[in-house]
Amino acid sequence: GLSGSGKSTLAYETEKRLTEIGKTCYVLDGDNLRFGLNKDLGFSPEDRKENIRRTAEVARLFNEAGLIVIASLISPFIDDRMMAKEIIGDSCFKEIHISTSIEVCEQRDPKGLYKKARKGEIPDFTGISSPYEPPLEPDMLIDLGAASLDDAVNSILDYMVREGIIDI
């Protein structure tokens, strides 16, 4: 999903609920990764691809250690998401598209990024000056402009039970 769509909020609330039922999990948040592991990357298509590749490699390692990994990132290109799926593996990679509209994201604009992007102060800003390719067939679609956070988390947990990822 786009910046401000609610990805991180949903990821951390899902992690909290999974932890409460005894599941070991970890959130790989795009913003946090860019402070450390990916701090040398910008927002060009090549850097975005490398950001996704590194994150997928870390997710795969954490999965192999037995953790449920929730990756919360802006991943604007279909090819990059398919690369991540190849790295992580079909059985572990589940794509949840946070489809909150750009209008809602701009109204929220928690970091003031849309205003800066509209003024041309941020180049390659997803949804404004850089494209976003929505998933063609995501495993789940959640609009956090319409659904409550609690309902969205419940939908994810229900999906995980149905798919045999967790048992409750």
The residues carrying an active-site annotation are: 75
* Residue 17: its H or E element: helix 7-20
Both tokens of 89, joined, read 């593996």
CA 90 distance to own-chain centroid = 17
Both tokens of 92, joined, read 């572990």
CA distance 55 to 70: 11
Contact call for residues 88 and 15 (beta carbons, < 8 A): no
